[in-house]
């Protein structure tokens, strides 16, 4: 919490603050600065720009809490049907670097049912300690029991940092845990580091529609919690010699109670390859013009044994479900080959795919931004080029 005040006797009407405000929240009246609190975000840019000390930004959040009891880096390791998801290995890789910079332990947290055999896997991936809660109610993800169990662990063992995948489960779980434990949470990070002097987690993520990268710190709260996108970090290597200490926790039955009941799990895309894991992605945008265009790229993806991706425009148009969306508000993908068909290449899309090894862009417009990041560009009509590519790959790969 903060408050902002203009000290009128010190304000010279120089307008520096007006120029510095990124939100257009400052205007001049009678040669004095006035702040529109409906627009102000208390970012402090105006106070920083004022050379006359005429803008007072006060921190009202009270005395700093004693945070010294918090230590260790935790990674929430997501499992589905007993399989640890690869995002967890990516976070263990990144968590190890953070833990060694802080001189603390890397701890894996796993919740599930019958997951004892998974301890070895987490240990091999570099965890110094594994916290395990095994209970039938945790077999499938459900908000209430997962939140309760993780909150209990956090309250008892006080981690300094908690990392979690920016997956559907991770996003749902960690926001609940953050609220319950009074933690700071930064969602969808693409970079993490440590400010060694202050022992703060530096959490970098796209902001303002992806136009800038913001580095966020949470100096007053613990744990510092961050969700991280899939495929942004390198997976931890395997060290068969690493033996993690194991903490098995049991809790009273009420901890595992749920206000909701899981009736059924339905796989949305049962026949296609998981987008995040695919080596080849054929993605379509508004330029494909509709369902027929998407059927064409579906054919090409099938021949290449790849997955189908999409821009948000295509998803918004209802041509393909959201689970295929690539980009800032969709998935981050790093395939070996990304074929973008009729996608203009706005920054929000590029954020999700620009680290692909080879990018092929098919676009009618020679000035489309996607062609600037593409390894190979084909200028032309995707509705003609895609079927031609499908025919040729089918022939070359000997497929029917
Ligand atoms: C906060 C926020 C978050 C967002 N998140 C995402 C996100 O996660 N993912 C995402 O994709 N977008 C996202 N967007 C939207 C993004 O800004 C763009 O609007 C979107 O990516 C554009 O999609 P498009 O490239 O399919 O469509 P357009 O920008 O309309 O581009 C269509 C392209 O197709 C080409 N074309 C037309 N016909 C043909 C043809 N026959 N053959 C070949 N080329 C053709 C055109 O030349 C053009 O380049 C977000 C926006 C905001 C504000």
CATH of the domain at 55: 3.30.70.20
Say yes or no: CB of residue 327 within 6 Å of ligand 1: yes
Residue 43's pLDDT band, with cuts at 50, 70 and 90, is: confident
The pLDDT, as a whole number, for residue 209 is 61
Say how many CA atoms lie within 13 Å of 308 toward its Cβ: 25
The pLDDT, as a whole number, for residue 264 is 87
Last residue of a domain, one of 256, 284, 314: 256
Q: Which of 288, 294, 363, 378 to mutate to test the pocket of ligand 1 (most atoms within 8 A of CB)?
A: 363
- What number does the ligand 1 atom closest to the CA of 330 have? 8
The reply to whether 314 and 225 lie within a common domain is: no
CATH of the domain at 189: 3.40.50.620
Residue 222 lies in a domain: yes
Residue 261 lies in a domain: no
Residue 84 lies in a domain: yes
The pLDDT, as a whole number, for residue 282 is 97
CATH of the domain at 339: 3.40.50.1220
- What number does the ligand 1 atom closest to the CA of 314 have? 26
Total domains in the fold of the chain: 3
pLDDT surpassing 70 at residue 392: yes
Instruction: Tell me 253's DSSP state.
Output: G
pLDDT surpassing 60 at residue 269: no
Nearest alpha carbon, ligand 1 atom 28? 344
CA of 285 to the centre of ligand 1 (A): 6
The reply to whether 54 and 81 lie within a common domain is: no
Alpha-carbon gap, residue 154 to 254, rounded angstroms: 18
Residue 92 lies in a domain: yes
The reply to whether 179 and 246 lie within a common domain is: yes
The reply to whether 113 and 212 lie within a common domain is: yes
pTM check: above 0.75: no
Say yes or no: CB of residue 297 within 6 Å of ligand 1: no
CA angle 377, 328, 262 (to 5 degrees): 125
The pLDDT, as a whole number, for residue 272 is 56
Query: Is residue 169 classed exposed, middle or buried when 0-12, 13-18 and 19+ CB atoms within 10 A define those classes?
Result: buried
Q: Which of 343, 347, 386, 387 to mutate to test the pocket of ligand 1 (most atoms within 8 A of CB)?
A: 343
Least reliable range by pLDDT among 40-49, 139-148, 383-392: 40-49
The reply to whether 104 and 137 lie within a common domain is: yes
Last residue of a domain, one of 256, 288, 310: 256
Task: Tell me what the mean pLDDT of segment 329-351 comes to.
Answer: 93
Quote the domain boundaries for residue 8: 2-59
Q: Report yes or no: 217 and 200 within 8 Å, Cβ to Cβ.
A: yes
The reply to whether 303 and 331 lie within a common domain is: yes
The reply to whether 109 and 238 lie within a common domain is: yes
Q: Report yes or no: 325 and 331 within 8 Å, Cβ to Cβ.
A: yes
Q: Which of 166, 309, 327 to mutate to test the pocket of ligand 1 (most atoms within 8 A of CB)?
A: 327
Which secondary structure element, helix H or strand E, spans residue 169, and what is its range? helix 168-181
| C-alpha distances out from residue 351 to 66, 105, 251, Å | 38, 32, 42
Residue 65 lies in a domain: no
Chain segment 49-67, per-residue pLDDT in tens:
999 999 998 877 666 677 8
Task: Tell me what the mean pLDDT of segment 368-375 comes to.
Answer: 96
Query: Is residue 362 classed exposed, middle or buried when 0-12, 13-18 and 19+ CB atoms within 10 A define those classes?
Result: buried
Residues with Cβ within 8 Å of residue 338, at least 6 apart in sequence: 281, 283, 309, 353, 356, 358, 359, 360
Last residue of a domain, one of 59, 92, 107: 59
Residue 184's pLDDT band, with cuts at 50, 70 and 90, is: confident
Alpha-carbon gap, residue 211 to 307, rounded angstroms: 28
Task: Tell me what the mean pLDDT of segment 140-150 comes to.
Answer: 97
The reply to whether 248 and 368 lie within a common domain is: no
The reply to whether 250 and 170 lie within a common domain is: yes
Specify which of 157-161, 181-185, 233-237 reaches the highest per-range mean pLDDT: 157-161
The reply to whether 281 and 314 lie within a common domain is: yes
Number of CB atoms found within 10 A of residue 343's CB: 31
Chain segment 80-128, per-residue pLDDT in tens:
989 999 999 999 999 999 999 999 999 999 999 999 999 999 999 999 9
In the chain, % of residues over pLDDT 90:
79
- Say which residue, 182 or 341, is predicted with more confidence: 341
Q: Report yes or no: 183 and 150 within 8 Å, Cβ to Cβ.
A: no
Task: Tell me what the mean pLDDT of segment 29-47 comes to.
Answer: 92
The pLDDT, as a whole number, for residue 68 is 87
Nearest alpha carbon, ligand 1 atom 4? 348
Nearest alpha carbon, ligand 1 atom 29? 344
């Amino acid at each position: 919490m903060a408050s902002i005040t203009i000290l009128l006797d010190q304000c010279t009407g120089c307008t520096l603050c007006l120029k510095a405000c990124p939100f257009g929240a400052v205007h001049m009246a009678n040669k004095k600065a006035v702040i529109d609190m409906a627009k102000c975000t208390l970012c402090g840019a105006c106070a920083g720009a004022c050379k006359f000390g005429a803008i007072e930004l006060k921190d009202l959040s009270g005395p700093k809490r004693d945070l010294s009891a918090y230590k260790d880096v935790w990674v929430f390791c997501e499992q589905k049907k007993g399989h640890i998801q690869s995002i967890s290995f990516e976070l263990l890789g990144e968590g190890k670097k953070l833990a060694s910079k802080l001189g603390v332990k890397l701890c894996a947290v796993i919740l599930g049912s019958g997951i004892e055999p998974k301890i070895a896997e987490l240990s091999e991936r570099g965890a110094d300690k594994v916290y395990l809660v095994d209970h039938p109610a945790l077999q499938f993800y459900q908000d209430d029991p997962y939140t309760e169990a993780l909150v209990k662990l956090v309250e008892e063992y006080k981690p300094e940092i908690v990392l979690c995948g920016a997956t559907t489960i991770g996003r749902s779980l960690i926001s609940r845990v953050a609220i319950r434990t009074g933690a700071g949470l930064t969602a969808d990070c693409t970079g993490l580091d440590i400010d060694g002097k202050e022992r703060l987690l530096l959490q970098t993520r796209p902001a303002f529609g992806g136009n800038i990268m913001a580095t966020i710190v949470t100096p007053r709260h613990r744990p510092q919690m961050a969700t991280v996108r899939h495929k942004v970090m390198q997976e931890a290597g395997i060290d068969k010699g690493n033996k993690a200490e194991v903490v098995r926790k049991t809790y009273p039955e009420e901890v595992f109670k749920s206000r909701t009941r899981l009736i059924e799990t339905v796989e949305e895309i049962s026949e296609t390859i998981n987008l995040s894991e695919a080596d080849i992605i054929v993605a379509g945008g508004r330029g494909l013009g509709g369902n027929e265009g998407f059927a064409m790229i579906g054919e090409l993806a099938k021949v290449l044994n790849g997955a189908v991706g999409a821009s948000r425009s295509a998803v918004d148009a209802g041509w393909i479900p959201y689970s295929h969306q690539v980009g800032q508000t969709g998935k981050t993908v790093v395939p070996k080959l990304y074929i973008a068909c009729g996608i203009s290449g706005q920054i929000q899309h590029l954020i999700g795919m620009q680290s692909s090894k080879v990018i092929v862009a098919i676009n009618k417009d020679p000035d489309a931004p996607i062609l600037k990041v593409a390894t190979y560009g084909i200028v032309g009509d995707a509705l003609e080029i895609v079927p031609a590519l499908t025919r040729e790959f089918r022939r070359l790969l000997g497929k029917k």
